A = this chain, B = another copy of it.
Amino acid sequence: MGAEGQGTDPGAMDYRSAGVDLERAERAKEGIRELVESTRDQWTLSGLGSFGGLYQLPDGVSEPVLVSSADGVGTKLKLAFLTGVHDTVGRDLVNHCVNDILVQGARPLFFLDYLATGELEEGVVEGVVRGIALACRENGCALLGGETAQMPDFYAPGEYDLAGFVVGIVPREQILDGSRVREGDLLVGLTSSGLHTNGYTLARRILLDRAGLGVGDQIPGTREPVGPALLRVHRSYLPALRDEIGGSAVRAMAHITGGGIPGNLPRVLPDGLGAVVDRESWRVPDLFEALARLGSVDREEMFRVFNMGVGMILVVDPAELEGLLVRLGDRGEAPWVMGEVVAGSGVSFR
């Protein structure tokens, strides 16, 4: 034991000398108070420091169903550690969670985070929470609570893990559960902003280990250095899609996360239906092509691990396609038809 306790006994142990600093935790809490307060809405009943966060159920939702999801950022966090940029991973986390409930028709009500670290470093917790709070405001949900855990012996110095949890709401009749999907429905893709939060273990091995690049080095075949390219924020599709919920054009949505298109699109298709995806219908972004080339990664493996430029797939009523494409275009999206729903199961590429 290095540091000594506060007692008169020179061998006295205390929590701080054991590696847990409650005073620093208290200061960190003060540092995030304003950030948390900035996300409050009319339904938020509690403030920082209560045992549980209180959120009044909004009025006017008929047969309300709560939709909830838990997620992490994965080893994208390593890029935050390597670059010292800590205020984007929180946005990744919130947006990922929001997308996961959006695909079932829900809009987010509130969010909670779990941040675990070995030793609290001044500024790091605040940076992470700043990103979380910003994304909560962008998505219109309250940062209702969270836990910051000091766990010496668990995390290397300067490292942390981060998990998040969102609760949203949907009127029962507007739930998207795949039951409306029909053979012949069209698949409409929305672009991803980058790797989002999946495939980072493989991407790091390729770029940092095999290619030997540093975070400031340009990725061959792209216009970006490793750090900014890999840290690009996981998009929230809520602004593009919130007004389609309750409409008849979009019959299902799949968020393309771990497992890629083949791992996620079938999750929203009913038994007896599969999908054909035309891989020539879009240009895979340079970043993915660079990863494939530098890592000699098989094409099928690339599509299982990465989103390949497609962050969200909508299953669309063909009769409503044209109107939907116009509306999405008006919201700044560049959607395209990438395939269709067919009898069968799973995803086949053509």
Q: Give the interface of A toward B (CB within 8 A).
A: 1, 5-7, 9, 11-15, 18-20, 22, 45-46, 49-57, 63-72, 74-75, 77-78, 100-101, 103-104, 106, 109-110, 112-114, 116, 144-147, 149-155, 159, 161, 163, 165-168, 172, 175, 177, 199, 201-202, 204-206, 209-210, 254-255, 258-259, 263, 267-268, 295-298, 301, 304-305
Contact = CB atoms under 8 A, between A and B. Distances in A.
A175 B298 contact: no
B210 A1 contact: yes
A319 to B, nearest CB: 26
A143 B78 CA distance: 30
Closest 7 CB pairs of A and B: A165-B165, A114-B163, A7-B298, A52-B101, A13-B295, A70-B112, A52-B67
Contacts of A116: 72, 161, 163
Contacts of A5: 296-298, 301
A11 B296 contact: yes
B259 A22 contact: yes
Given A56-B63, A68-B167, A201-B19, A267 B50 contact: yes
Contacts of A101: 51-52
A153 B75 contact: yes
A298 B6 contact: yes
Contact of A296 (B9, B104, B149, B263): B9
Given A19-B201, A165-B165, A267-B51, A149 B74 contact: yes
A69 B112 contact: yes
A179 to B, nearest CB: 12
Interface of A is mostly: mixed
26 contacts: A1-B209, A6-B298, A9-B298, A13-B206, A14-B298, A14-B305, A18-B201, A18-B202, A20-B201, A22-B258, A45-B175, A49-B267, A51-B69, A52-B69, A52-B100, A54-B66, A55-B65, A55-B66, A66-B167, A72-B114, A72-B116, A75-B152, A77-B154, A114-B114, A163-B163, A165-B165
Nearest to A169: B57
A175 B57 contact: no
Given A14-B202, A70-B146, A54 B175 contact: yes
Given A7-B298, A104-B52, A15 B149 contact: no
A167 B55 CA distance: 10
A14 B65 contact: no
Given A12-B298, A22-B263, 16 more contacts: A1-B205, A1-B210, A7-B297, A9-B298, A11-B296, A12-B295, A12-B297, A13-B296, A14-B298, A20-B202, A52-B101, A55-B65, A68-B145, A71-B147, A75-B152, A116-B161
B57 A305 contact: no
A12 B301 CA distance: 10
Contact of A152 (B7, B54, B201): B201
Contact of A201 (B109, B113, B151, B161): B151
Nearest to A8: B298
Contacts of A104: 46, 50-52, 54
Given A52-B69, A153-B78, A297 B201 contact: no
Contacts of A68: 52-53, 55, 110, 112, 144-145, 165, 167
A35 to B, nearest CB: 16
